[in-house]
Each structure stands twice: as structure tokens, then as C-alpha cells.
Amino acid sequence: MPEFLLPDPGEGLTEAEIVTWRVAKGDTVAVNDVILEIETEKSLVELPSPFAGVVDELLAEVGDTVAVGSPVIRIGGDDEMTDAQSDTLQTISDEGEGGGAVLVGYGVRDAPSTRRRKPRTVQNPPEAKRPEVPKSMPAVGASPVIAKPPIRKLAKDLDVDLAQVEGTGVAGEVTREDVVGAAKQASVFKNLEAPEWSGERDERIPVKGVRKAIAKGMVDSAFTAPHVSVFVDVDATRTMEFVARLKKSVDFADVKVSPLLIMAKAILWAVRRNPHVNSTFTGDELVVHHYVNLGIAAATPRGLLVPNVKDAQDMSLLELAKALQNLTTTARDGKTQPADMQGGTITITNIGVFGMDTGTPILNPGETAIMALGTIKQKPWVVDGEVRPRFVTTVGGSFDHRAIDGDIVSRFVADVASILEEPALLLD
């Protein structure tokens, strides 16, 4: 009766924690059905079954830490494996940077899933020339709220009253940013209500998995690389105008566009002018990378993850926007794969989404630079000798002073700032 041995999903791991079993004793499984989720030091990984048959026994429980190569499940069936089962158990090496042994069949897109999808409801098309008015009209004397159906749904999901939101669209319509901004504002007041203390005087949380890896990585980075940090205030008004134009573009209709996209493109531009910031210091040599695997620090329910966009330097603005959207969505859903967090060369941390102006980020281990984008908000700013309201942000970064000196650091940050001040420079 075949047993499934816990594989190394491509990270050189020695152990992993069982997070969820997708099957139970007596269930029938097919080759490549997802049978369990494990938490490694870097990510949450779904593992497919290399066997077809009936689950005879689960050999590990949720919460157990299991050594790689140990049996975790026994599946009843023919002892002789089919060709498909044999192929699933083979291991191959990644062809990209930082490759490792991975289980074939792991991550197969068209693999059958044990999850059932809800049937999709097809709605009747809207009638021609139907006026865009809300079903529930506001009180007499009040203006109707202008908002597209997706925006109304977003407002409902975020518990935002559209009647209380001032639309900033061209025709006065409520935009996605208006709804999100209102939700953030509401959350500030909701968070004023502090929860009650729990009955226990102390709560003990085991440090393991991602949190353990983060702790080790940050200590290694902080006490190995001498950090130097610099900051500059930037008039990002034209970046905000550029973002607004992109959002109205047909090409970007289904893509999330934010100032982070312009920041990412600015870093790629500045790296070409200051290549030594995109490097790794080994002690004996400085390895300058002629490609950019752009890391994005993402806060997730499982902790800080830093997946990266591979070969971002070759992407158009639209391709980069799609890659960033896929990367952040996957990270927040807890589906980031180990390979997506390997081989990063430079990182962005967007602390502005939390309302922070600036900070002193710690380098991602093995990298020479990390850039921080603060919140963008209107402030008084001197333009041509006059004080005007402008959208202002703070751009900062930390650098490994073993690898680069202050002049390179300053030029690099100034280049990034110049793009945020005038995105048209990207067209040069």
C-alpha cells in the first residue's frame, strides 16, 4: 500500500508543518488531487497526490511538524504505479536562478481540485438607454448617487454608504478610490473601539514557520549588513495625474493601477543609471545583477512575504502592472509559491498603504537596496514662489554600505524621486 512521503517543494527544506488536510480516511483521490497544505519557512504550499486510490490512513495531524521524506498519508490501491503516478513522483531542477528540486505535478494549473465552484449566475443584459439611477433613491431634494455597479458592490462589501461619499470622477461619479478612501476613514473610527482583554494574562504564540524565518532573516540582515538610510520629500502631483489617466485607459481597464506601479517603474529606470544598487555583496566580491527581480514586501495574515517579479526590467508598464497585481493578490491569498520568493535583487516596501510617511526598512537578506514609498497626501508646497496644495510623499531607502557608498545612494534615490515628480521622463 503506497505511502506519500513529504517532499521538498523546492526550498531545500528539512521540515514543514501540516496546516490543513483536504482529505479524510475513506476518501477517494485521483492523481494530482490536492490532499494537504503545508507551511514552510517561506510560504503555504498545496501538495497534490502522486497516487490514485482510497485514503487508508493520515499519518500526521494538523499542527505536526514533519521531516522531509517522512510518510504523511497512506493511500490504498495498486502497488504498481501508473505512468502518470510515476511522473508525478519525479523531481526536476529549476532552470532559473536559485533553482532546487521540486515535485512534478505540484502547482499544475489544470489539476482537478477537491473544491467545488459555485455556479455562475448569468444576469440579463441591461435594457438599452436605461438610466443609471440607484434602485433605492435618496430622499427628496437630494442628488442621486452616480456609481457603476462594480463600485456599488465594492461599497456594499466595505460597508460604505455611497450617499455619504463625495464623487471625484469627471462627471461627479463615485470612483473606486473614493470608496476605498471612505472605508479607510471609517475603519479609523471603528478601530477606536478596543476589544476586551482575554481571560488569560499571557498568550504564548510559538515562533515557527514564516515568523521564525522572518525573525532569523531580519537579525542576519541587521547585524551583517551596515545599513545606511536616506529620505527625500517629493512632489508626486504629476504621478497622481498620470495614475488617473492610466485608470481611464482601455488598456488598463482590468488592471489595478496605483502610485506603486510608477514607483516600481522608477526604480527600474534608476537601476539602469546606478547598477551597483542592484547587487549582492558576498564578502569576496560584489555581484552586480544585469536583470531585476523586483521584490514587493507584502503584509499577509501569515506575516511579511517578499515575492518578486522576475525579469521586471523587460516588462512594459502594462505588463508590470499585471505582474504586480498577480503577485500581491497571490501573496494575500496565501498562495505564493517558494520560487516566487527566491532570487530577488531589490525590494520595494509600500508603507504608505498604512498611512505612514516614512520608515527605515531592513534589507531583504542578500540584497543591497530596499526602497520605501510613504503615503501620498495633499500638503502645502512652494511652486514658482507660491504656496500651493500639492500631492506630496516621502521616498526613502536603506542600503548595504559595504557594497555602495553615499554618492551612489544619493544619486539613485534622486533618480527615483525625479520620476515620481515627472513620470514623462520614463518616455525618454
Whether residue 31 is predicted with pLDDT greater than 90 in this model: the reply is: no
Residue 212's pLDDT is: 82
Contact of 343 with 310, CB cutoff 8 Å: yes
- CATH number for the region 145-180 comes to 4.10.320.10
3-state secondary structure (DSSP) of residue 160: coil
Residue 17's pLDDT is: 85
> Which amino acid would we find at residue 88?
T
Mean local confidence (pLDDT), 196-210: 79
pLDDT-based confidence at residue 42 (cuts at 50, 70, 90):
low
Mean local confidence (pLDDT), 194-215: 79
Q: Which residues are bridge partners to 36 per DSSP?
A: 21, 47
3-state secondary structure (DSSP) of residue 374: coil
Residue scoring higher pLDDT (187 or 386)? 386
Angle at the Cα of 71 (from 68 to 77), degrees rounded to 5? Answer: 140
For domain 226-427, the CATH class is alpha beta
Beta strands in 282-403 (DSSP E): 286-288, 294-300, 303-305, 308-309, 346-349, 369-373, 377-383, 386-400
Residue 110's pLDDT is: 37
The CATH fold assigned to 3-103 is OB fold (Dihydrolipoamide Acetyltransferase, E2P) (2.40.50)
Q: Where in the chain is the domain with CATH 4.10.320.10?
A: 145-180
Q: Where in the chain is the domain with CATH 3.30.559.10?
A: 226-427
C-alpha dist (Å) from residue 376 to 84, 234, 263, 266, 350: 53, 9, 12, 16, 11
What are the tens digits of pLDDT across the range 97-128? 334 334 433 333 333 333 333 333 434 444 44
What are the tens digits of pLDDT across the range 240-283? 999 999 988 889 988 889 999 999 999 999 999 999 999 999 98
180 vs 184: CA distance, rounded Å: 6
Which entry of 227, 289, 290, 401 is annotated as an active-site residue? 401
For residue 42, give the C-alpha cell: 517561506
Q: Where in the chain is the domain with CATH 2.40.50.100?
A: 3-103
Residue scoring higher pLDDT (135 or 64)? 64
Least Cα distance to 266 among 424, 91, 72, 64 occurs for 424
Least Cα distance to 40 among 307, 329, 302 occurs for 302
DSSP for residue 19: E
Residue scoring higher pLDDT (253 or 427)? 253
> Which amino acid would we find at residue 316?
S
Ramachandran angles phi, psi of 83, nearest 5°: -60, -40
What are the tens digits of pLDDT across the range 147-159? 887 788 788 878 8
Q: Is 401 a catalytic residue?
A: yes
Mean pLDDT of the chain: 80
State the pTM of this model.
Answer: 0.61
